[in-house]
Amino acid sequence: MFKGSNVALVTPFKDNKLDVETYIKLIHFHIQNGTNGLVPAGTTGESPTLSHDEHEKVIELCVKESKGKLPVFAGTGSNSTEEAISLTTHAEKIGANGALIVTPYYNKPTQEGLYQHYKSINDKCGIPIIIYNIPGRSVIDMSVDTMARLYELKNIVGVKDATGDLNRVDQTLKKMGKDFIQLTGNDDNALEFNKRGGVGAISVTANIVPKLCSDFQKFSKSETDNELKEAERLNKILQPIHHAMFVESNPSPVKYAAKLLNLCDDEVRLPLVKVTDNTKKIVKEVLLSAKLI
């Protein structure tokens, strides 16, 4: 269920309020353009500045509008274990297929604290959980050994690895085997990640080029030479776009790109701000180069 190109969906705002109409359009845009899964209320969805009601609403909209056509694994993580349990049980109740749960940020728990955090959530829900390991934002790095302990629990099924360390793919595969789902959180390393045993990505870039990302993922897992060459060709097209999406803090650049493509406005919530003129130039140039505008 959880493989291929899964979009880390942006949350569109209008006058600092959730733009429901545009959000619904974005969901259908992905259904129509080959995206393999929807991930609402993650980092790219600006979850830290969504109210509790908004957080639940964007997950509900994804479940309702996708109507089972795409799996929805909702961002339900928090640095508060009780809040993560609340968000996860709500996602399960309204029909999400799984939960993406980030390692607790700011608190700096030990490896045992990480284990107990995820075990507490696991014990309160009945849907698959993907661990989101992103030390660049959360400071904490979950070890492969801790992940292996968690994999023994009933609901822990995989990881979104945003460490940028490709050796982790090998270590995780060796420790947990191929049934443990490995998705990259770094668009730019997706080709090598999949070659080493990964099965897809939770992608920022897929917000603006879903079909390119979906085709790339499909061909990257092929066993035929022609399709692997096609994956390499698409990867070359995608690399400049990937890099442009992170010139400034995500999701400001991808929201500006989405604005250029008439998908949604580039409004973000403080403390994030819209991108600078220099970044606008970079984003526009890569979209022109890829013949997207």
Which residues does the annotation mark as catalytic?
A: 132, 160
User: Are 27 and 61 a contacting pair, CB within 8 Å?
Assistant: yes
Cis peptide before 251 (omega within 30 of 0): yes
Q: What is the 8-class DSSP label of residue 67?
A: T
b/e 95-126 (16+ beta carbons within 10 angstroms → b)? bbbbbbbbbbbeeebeeebbbebbbebbebbe
d(CA 6, CA 2): 8
Query: Across 65-191, where does the E strand assignment appear?
Result: 73-75, 98-102, 129-133, 156-161, 181-184
Minimal CA–CA distance to 150: which of 126, 170, 135, 131?
131
What does the radius of gyration of the chain's CA atoms come to, in whole angstroms?
Answer: 18
**Would you tell me how many other CB atoms lie within 10 Å of the CB of residue 235?**
19
Concatenating the DSSP letter of every residue in 164-216 gives: --THHHHHHHHHH-TTSEEEES-GGGHHHHHHTT--EEEESGGGT-HHHHHHH
- Chain length of the chain: 293
**Tokens 């973000």, residue located:** 268
